[in-house]
Structure 1
Amino acid sequence: MTHTLIKLKIFILIKRLAGNRLGSQLLRQDPAKIISNYARTVTLKSTPATAAIQEGHDERNMRLGRPQSPHLTIYRPQLTAMLSISHRATGIMLAGYIVLFSAAAVYLECPLEYYIEQLKCAEIGAGNIFFVKFLLAFPLTYHFWNGIRHLLWDLGKFLTIREVYATGWTMLAIATASAVALSGMS
């Protein structure tokens, strides 16, 4: 492209951007004067690219003199964080239950009810059976009631700090009571 063609294109662009009212005033002026007033020349200097330094996060922070972040060791565990972590953990446990009981149903010779009946006949003791039932039931009740709590948050309810803590303690009490009730069933 020639230099005058570039100037003409810039002039047309300025006229379009300025609109009809200002554009008609611009047309009366010399295009070279308009370009010198509204468009400035730019000179680019090329430099060769430098190779990126291959270093890890810690090495980069040490090179830049950044302090090490103290992480979890300085913080007191908070109810909200513990409930969030345990919600994920109970979800993982429930997925493990599904895999374990599905594999047992497929690979064991007798139905699952047979093995449950064998445990009852083994005279392990009512307290031990209750404890095992509780360990199996609590992840289910905890995940269920905490999921309801999350659904209430999705509706915009109980979102202040005080309400989050109150619903957390209430959910723990209801989940524990539900697990005890399920464990007591025969």
Structure 2
Amino acid sequence: MSLIFRLAGPGSRLGPQILRQNCTRMLNAVRPVTMKCEPAVPDKNESHDERNMRIGRPQSPHLSIYKPQLTALLSITHRATGMALSAYVIALGYSAVSLQLPLDHYIEQLKLMQIGAGPVFALKFLVAFPLSYHFFNGIRHLLWDTARFLSIKEVYATGYAMLAVSTVGAIVLSGMS
């Protein structure tokens, strides 16, 4: 750009002539274009799927074509256990405010019903597993935040280890009286 200005500068005899020749060549290379204005056509009241069917686009298979992966399943489960823990807190808070007697009374009533050890253990496990899973998976995520265990092989290894540790932790919590 500075070369063009130097050639076209006030002290240059050759510059203006070169610029004039190049500009006329460029102007001759440009062709005129005209635009035709038409009023906008209102869209039809059809859904996205109806439009795609009308113009012949296939429906995307979305998740049905993918093989379930451990990483996706663990991520979904982490979110689900977080929601379950939130539900626990809400239910316990609501019961503390609305129940006539303290929560200990209702626990004693369950013990007096003499439900078998198997169903009680299963119920305790269903309550303890979300806590155990969310806790240990949270530790796994904290390790990722320190840039550790981020290769695919390590992600899968820590995923399986976390599942084992959280299951054992839930069993231990369920065995407590």
Matched residue type, 1:116: I
The residue number in structure 1 matching 2:13 is: none
Work out whether 1:145 is the aligned partner of 2:151. no
Give the structure 2 partner of residue 125 of structure 1: 116
The equivalent residue for 2:4 is 22
Instruction: Report how far residue 172 of structure 1 moved.
Output: 0.6
TM-score, with length taken from structure 1: 0.75
Determine which of 3, 18, 41 is the counterpart of 1:51.
Answer: 41
> Share of identical aligned residues, percent?
52
Tell me which residue corresponds to 1:73.
64
What secondary structure is seen at the aligned counterpart in 2 of 1:101? helix
**1:92 equivalent among 68, 83, 98:** 83
SS in 1 for 2:8: helix
Show structure 1 runs of 5+ residues with no match: 1-17
* Shift, 1:148, TM fit: 1.7
What's the offset of the Cα at 1:74?
3.8
| 1:116-168 superposed Cα distances (whole Å, 9 cap, x missing partner) | 12212221123222221111110111111112222222322222222222111
| Residue-pair matches, total | 168
Deviation at 1:65, TM superposition (A): 2.3
Q: Secondary structure at the match of 1:66?
A: coil
Within the candidate set 21, 42, 64, 2:55 is matched to: 64
When residues 36 and 65 of structure 1 are mapped into structure 2, their CA distance, relative to the original with a 3 A threshold, is same
Q: Secondary structure at the match of 1:118?
A: helix
- Shift of the alpha carbon at 1:43? 4.8
| Aligned-residue CA RMSD (Å) | 2.7
- TM-score by length of structure 2 reads 0.79
